[in-house]
Structure formats: structure tokens, C-alpha cells
Amino acid sequence: MAGQAQVAKIRGEVREQRAQESANLTDMIEKISLTGLQDADKMYNEGAIKLRNVISQAQQDNSNGLITRQEATRIANNAISQADLLVNSTELIGQKYTDLKASVKSGDKSQADLDKFGYCLIPEALSFNEIEISKQRLLEQAEAEEELGYSFRDGGAKQEIKISEGKIDKTSFSTKNGGVNQRLWMLANKGECFREMVTHTLVDELVGHLLGNDFILSTHSANIAKAGGVRMGLHTDQWWMPQPVKAGGDFIKPSEISRKADDSFLKPDISLGISPPVVVNCMWMLSDFSSTNGATELVAGSHLTGAHPNQEDQSTYPIIQPEAEAGTLMVFDGRLWHGTGANSGNTDRLGVLTTFCSPQFRQQENQTLGLDRDLWESCSEKLKSRLGFKVWNAYGRIESTMDYLIDIEPERIKELRPSKK
């Protein structure tokens, strides 16, 4: 009797293990439908190998008396059904690359992906020459800022944020304090190649799809994710956006919203609706992005949950890392849960992050005050508008509500007294 009980226990454990493997395969198939072009073949092959292994293992378990023939047949049939799903889910990827690229660049697929998944990938958004020029300019700037002591570093495993007199100490973000990844800010000042990204036609189309015709540059920065950098953790870039509330109900005062979200952000009442997108990010990939070198982590579809990710435990979230070649542009909704991945490889991951917001919101970087005055004459009207010099419904003006663009050195009417009569 004891022997039979032991056999029954083993069989039960094997059945549970096979059920978990089946669930894992289902997750993989779902991920394939959410991933980018460069990931698809890799994931398809991995899925096919795992399906073959499941069938082979079922046959082996039956031979060893661990499961019955009927159970082995059921597992095999289920694997075959999943194989059909695997093939069907990759039909889109199976199209000719040129046809798919044309579909992406037409905007229809990209906009649909942005709406449904919260992000889209546009391969070859930058030409080979544009990649090389931008990469060289970025690396030169990064080296010079490091030499002159301007370098901003984060992403270190042992990095500590120091607080002095209630403010963050600037030395927190240094290599001396354990920082690894290098950030560069205010890129509009640091190269024509970066200014061209702000006014790119793909920005017009895809950012405009979510924010409308008028939007402004919030921040234009670079993140050089270096070997050894740890994952940033999922967050949203609309963390400061107030949640919908019931009429007359309690609410968090807008200026008191913090990055450490409370329950109203972690578990919102979506029957009240969710906030619309007012921020859109554009990640310009100047090197190949992979799960090894710190490709952006994200949770597809999270932009429609109305929630923010828990900062304490993210282990249960279905995180994916879309892999793509240099020159790819990834556009994503500011509500999407995302963050820099860990770089466990031995090469740097180079990315330029251009963040836009609706014109009624404050910019993360003060573009109008921070713009190099020597660049003003060479800036197009479109660029000046994107930087925030355009008046929007009388907001952003200096004096007259009739102004269209504010000059970089506007006339300021000072304290006056009438002349003596």
C-alpha cells in the first residue's frame, strides 16, 4: 500500500509539473504576439523546441510508468494544439520583411500597437549614417562631461541616495558613489542630430496620435546603460497625474502626489475611468537593444489599467523586453509601466530618450530657460514651438495674449511711473 501511495504521489507531481510547463508555453505564445520583429524568430524557435521536448518527455514518462498512455496522449495533443497556436501567432512575423516594414512605416500598425499594447517599434527609423553621427556625438559628449565632472551616474547595485538638509546631495549620482549608467541631459543643446529627433516626422505622426497637434518637449536625454548596471524597476512617466475621483470624494492634493504611490494609484477604482495620456516617450536606439544589455523592460497593456506598478514587489508582473536593432524607434505611452533593464553583458547600450507632454503641463527640463542662446537663430519655428516657446491658448505668454512665439530675449515691461504733467 505504501508503494502504491508513493507511485500515486509521484504521478501527481509529474502531472503538476507538466501542467506548469503547459502554462509556461501558453505565456510564451502570448508574448510572441506582443514582441518586436527581432524577437519573433528567436522566441518561435524556443517555443518549438519546448513543444517537442514536452511530447518527448510525455512519451518517456509513460515508458517509465509515471503517467498513463491516455495522459501521455492528452499531453501530446495539447502540445500539437499549442504548436498550431504558435504558427498562427507568428503569421504576421512570417510576412516578407519589406511588406511588414511598409505597414509599420505607413503608421496604421504602429498607431494600433500604441493604442493596444502601449508601445510600438519602428525599425530603421534612423539611417546608418544618422546612427553613426548620433552615436559619435553622444560618446564624445559623454567623455567630455566625464572629464569635466558633469557626469551623472545611476543604476549602481550599491549606490545610495544621500540626503543633505532635506535635499538630494548631487554626489549621490557619481561613479564614486557607485553609479554605473551615464545620463546626459538637455540634448537640444548638444548636437544638431539630437535637435532633428525632436522634429522628426515619426514624432509628428505617433506622438501627435496620442497628444494632438500641439505638444512640447519635456526632456531630451541619453542613457548609456553600462555593464553591471542594475534594473531600474517599473514606473510610469505620468506618476504625478491625479486619479479620477468621485464628486465630493476625498482626493490627494495634486502637489502632494509622490512617486511612492498609495492604494489609490496601486488599486484604482477604474469604474471612475482612467487618466488619458498626456506624456509620450520616444526611445531612439543607437545600438542593438537586447535582454542582455539592458533593453527597456515593460508590461504590455499596462497603460490601460489606470494603475501604477508596486515599487516594493514586481516579481509577478509579466515583464517583457522588446529586442531591436540599432536605428529602431520605440514609442510608448507615458502611462505604460517601463524601466531600464539590467545590463548583464559586456557592451554599452546607447539610447536617446525624447519625452513629450501636452502643452498645459510643466516640462521636466526647462527647455526655454536652458536653451543655448547661440542656437536661437538656427532653430526652426517648429523646433521653437516644440521647445515651449509657442503660446498655447494664452498660456506661456509674457505680456500680450496675441503673441504666437515668445522671443528668447523678450521685451519685459518693468515697474513704471507715469510722466509728470
Domain CATH code at residue 63: 1.10.132
The cell 495533443 sits on which residue? 77
- Both 239 and 338 in a single domain? yes
d(CA 298, CA 283): 13
Of 57, 76, 93, the residue that ends a domain is 93
The answer to whether the CB of 241 falls within 8 A of the CB of 363 is no
- pLDDT exceeds 70 at position 325: yes
- Both 108 and 202 in a single domain? yes
Confidence of residue 307 (pLDDT cuts 50, 70, 90): very high
Phi/psi for 43 (5° steps) reads: -70, -35
pTM: 0.74
H helix runs in 200-269, sequence order? 201-211, 263-266
- Does some domain include residue 394? no
* pLDDT, tens digit (0-9, with 9 covering 90-100), for 161-214: 888 777 887 778 888 888 889 999 999 999 999 999 999 999 999 999 999 999
In 204-278, beta strands by DSSP E:
216-225
d(CA 32, CA 85): 11
69 DSSP assignment: H
* pLDDT, tens digit (0-9, with 9 covering 90-100), for 111-169: 999 999 999 999 999 999 999 999 999 999 999 999 999 998 988 888 788 887 778 87
List the single range of 78-87, 146-155, 228-237, 268-277 with lowest mean pLDDT.
Answer: 78-87
Q: Which three cell numbers stand for residue 264?
A: 489609490
The CATH code of the domain that includes 134 is 2.60.120.620
- Both 86 and 146 in a single domain? no
- Both 43 and 114 in a single domain? no
Query: Which domain, by its residues, includes 280?
Result: 101-365
d(CA 293, CA 295): 6
List the single range of 45-54, 107-116, 385-394 with lowest mean pLDDT.
Answer: 45-54
